[in-house]
Structure 1
Amino acid sequence: MIKVPTLFGWMVLIRGEALLTEWRTAPGTLLSGQDAKADVLQMMYTMDPRVVHDGLHLRLARHQLAKATPDLVHLLNEEVVAALKDYIATLPTDSDGWSEFAPHNTVSKIVARASNRMLIGLLLCCNADFIQLSTNYMFEVLRTSTLLRMLPLGARRLVNWFSPMMDPYVAQASKYIVPVIRERREKMAFLNDQYVKPFDLLMWLVDEAEAQGRHTDERILVIYILMFNFIAIHTTSITMSNLISDIAERQECQAILREEARMVTGEFGWGKDALDKLVKLDSFVKESMRLRPIASIMLERFVKQDYTFSNGTTLPEGTLWTLPTRTASTLTQTSLNPGAFAISTKKQAGLPLRLPQA
Structure 2
Amino acid sequence: MEDGEDESSSLIFIVCGVAILYIALVKSERSHPNLRHITSSANQGYILSFLDALRALFQGPALVQKGYEKHRVNLFKLATLQRWLVIVAGTQYIEELRKASEDDLAPIDAASQPDMSRYLLRHHTTPNMQQESFLTRHITQNLPFLTLDIKDELVAATTDSSVLSSASEDWKEICGRDLVVPLTARVVDRIFFGRKFARNKRYSQLSLNSMIKGLDFKRALFLAFLPTSFGNFLSWFSRSRQDEQQIQKILTAYIREEKENVSINDVNHKPRDVLFQVIHNVIVGGMTGVESTLLSLNSTAKHTLALAFGHILYDLATNSTDTGFMRQEIKDLVAREGWSKNALDKMYIADSFIKESMRMNGIFTLPTIRKAVQPFTFSDGTTIPQNTFIAVPATARHYDDTLYPSAGTFDRLRFSSSHEKGVHHHCSTSRTGSVQYNLTTSTTEYLPWGIGQHACPGRFFAAIVLKTMLAHVVLHYEVKFEDRKRPPNIIVDMNCFPDLEAKIFIKRSKGEGNGGIGRT
TM-score interval w.r.t. the shorter chain? 0.7 to 0.9
26 and 136 in structure 1: CA distance in 2 versus 1, 3 angstrom threshold: farther
254 and 4 in structure 1: CA distance in 2 versus 1, 3 angstrom threshold: same
- Name which of 358, 365, 373 aligns with 1:304: 373
Letter in 2 for 1:67: Q
Tell me the secondary structure at the aligned position of residue 290 of structure 2.
helix
How far off is 1:243 after superposition? Answer: 1.2
Letter in 2 for 1:98: W
Which ranges in structure 2 are unaligned for 5 or more consecutive residues? 1-74, 419-426, 441-458, 463-520
Q: How does the TM-score come out when normalised to structure 1?
A: 0.83
**Is the 8 Å Cα contact of residues 135 and 233 (structure 1) preserved in structure 2?**
no
- Name which of 337, 340, 349 aligns with 1:280: 349
Report the counterpart of residue 78 of structure 2 in structure 1. 4
Matched, 1:121 2:165: no
Note the alpha carbon deviations across 1:277-326, whole angstroms, 9 max, x for none: 10111011101110111133222222222212222222222222212222
How far off is 1:186 after superposition? Answer: 0.7
182 and 15 in structure 1: CA distance in 2 versus 1, 3 angstrom threshold: same
Tell me the secondary structure at the aligned position of residue 55 of structure 1.
helix
- State how far apart, in whole Å, the 2-side matches of 1:254 and 1:333 are: 28
How far off is 1:72 after superposition? Answer: 0.4
How far off is 1:330 after superposition? Answer: 4.2
Report the counterpart of residue 110 of structure 2 in structure 1. 37
- Name which of 80, 85, 97 aligns with 2:170: 97
55 and 173 in structure 1: CA distance in 2 versus 1, 3 angstrom threshold: same
192 and 107 in structure 1: CA distance in 2 versus 1, 3 angstrom threshold: same
Report the counterpart of residue 207 of structure 1 in structure 2. 280
Matched, 1:84 2:158: yes
Which deviates more from structure 2 when the two are superposed, residues 278-287 or residues 134-143? 134-143
Report the counterpart of residue 177 of structure 1 in structure 2. 251
- Name which of 122, 125, 150 aligns with 1:48: 125
**Is the 8 Å Cα contact of residues 248 and 295 (structure 2) preserved in structure 1?**
no
Report the counterpart of residue 243 of structure 1 in structure 2. 312
Matched, 1:186 2:260: yes
21 and 13 in structure 1: CA distance in 2 versus 1, 3 angstrom threshold: same
Q: How does the TM-score come out when normalised to structure 2?
A: 0.59
**Is the 8 Å Cα contact of residues 330 and 338 (structure 1) preserved in structure 2?**
yes
How far off is 1:144 after superposition? Answer: 6.7
242 and 23 in structure 1: CA distance in 2 versus 1, 3 angstrom threshold: same
- State how far apart, in whole Å, the 2-side matches of 1:194 and 1:65 are: 18
**Is the 8 Å Cα contact of residues 66 and 357 (structure 1) preserved in structure 2?**
yes
Matched, 1:294 2:363: yes
- State how far apart, in whole Å, the 2-side matches of 1:167 and 1:246 are: 32
Tell me the secondary structure at the aligned position of residue 120 of structure 1.
helix
146 and 319 in structure 1: CA distance in 2 versus 1, 3 angstrom threshold: farther
Note the alpha carbon deviations across 1:114-158, whole angstroms, 9 max, x for none: 1111101112212344234334445549857973784365x678x
Report the counterpart of residue 229 of structure 1 in structure 2. 298
Tell me the secondary structure at the aligned position of residue 302 of structure 1.
strand
Note the alpha carbon deviations across 1:137-183, whole angstroms, 9 max, x for none: 45549857973784365x678x37x9665763443013321232122
- State how far apart, in whole Å, the 2-side matches of 1:149 and 1:31 are: 28
- State how far apart, in whole Å, the 2-side matches of 1:207 and 1:149 are: 43
339 and 213 in structure 1: CA distance in 2 versus 1, 3 angstrom threshold: same
Tell me the secondary structure at the aligned position of residue 101 of structure 1.
strand
Tell me the secondary structure at the aligned position of residue 460 of structure 2.
coil
How far off is 1:113 after superposition? Answer: 0.3
22 and 192 in structure 1: CA distance in 2 versus 1, 3 angstrom threshold: closer
How far off is 1:37 after superposition? Answer: 2.2
Note the alpha carbon deviations across 1:172-202, whole angstroms, 9 max, x for none: 01332123212221112xx553684332111
Note the alpha carbon deviations across 1:82-131, whole angstroms, 9 max, x for none: 212322433467xx822222223431221110111110111221234423
- Name which of 404, 427, 432 aligns with 1:349: 432
- State how far apart, in whole Å, the 1-side matches of 2:89 and 2:349 are: 30
**Is the 8 Å Cα contact of residues 143 and 461 (structure 2) preserved in structure 1?**
no
Letter in 2 for 1:356: F
**Is the 8 Å Cα contact of residues 417 and 433 (structure 2) preserved in structure 1?**
no
- State how far apart, in whole Å, the 2-side matches of 1:316 and 1:150 are: 27
Letter in 2 for 1:25: K
Matched, 1:147 2:251: no
- State how far apart, in whole Å, the 2-side matches of 1:152 and 1:194 are: 45
**Is the 8 Å Cα contact of residues 47 and 223 (structure 1) preserved in structure 2?**
no
- State how far apart, in whole Å, the 2-side matches of 1:9 and 1:334 are: 30
Tell me the secondary structure at the aligned position of residue 46 of structure 1.
coil
**Is the 8 Å Cα contact of residues 88 and 94 (structure 2) preserved in structure 1?**
yes
**Is the 8 Å Cα contact of residues 417 and 434 (structure 2) preserved in structure 1?**
no
- State how far apart, in whole Å, the 2-side matches of 1:105 and 1:11 are: 37
How far off is 1:327 after superposition? Answer: 2.4
Query: How large is the Cα RMSD of the aligned pairs?
Result: 3.2
Report the counterpart of residue 387 of structure 2 in structure 1. 318
235 and 42 in structure 1: CA distance in 2 versus 1, 3 angstrom threshold: closer
Letter in 2 for 1:308: T
171 and 30 in structure 1: CA distance in 2 versus 1, 3 angstrom threshold: same
Letter in 2 for 1:151: P
302 and 38 in structure 1: CA distance in 2 versus 1, 3 angstrom threshold: farther
- State how far apart, in whole Å, the 2-side matches of 1:109 and 1:169 are: 17
- State how far apart, in whole Å, the 2-side matches of 1:18 and 1:46 are: 33
- State how far apart, in whole Å, the 2-side matches of 1:174 and 1:326 are: 36
48 and 248 in structure 1: CA distance in 2 versus 1, 3 angstrom threshold: closer
- State how far apart, in whole Å, the 1-side matches of 2:278 and 2:259 are: 12
Report the counterpart of residue 16 of structure 1 in structure 2. 90
Q: What is the identity percentage for the equivalent residue pairs of Structure 1 and Structure 2? A: 25
Which deviates more from structure 2 when the two are superposed, residues 333-342 or residues 309-318? 333-342
**Is the 8 Å Cα contact of residues 186 and 198 (structure 2) preserved in structure 1?**
yes
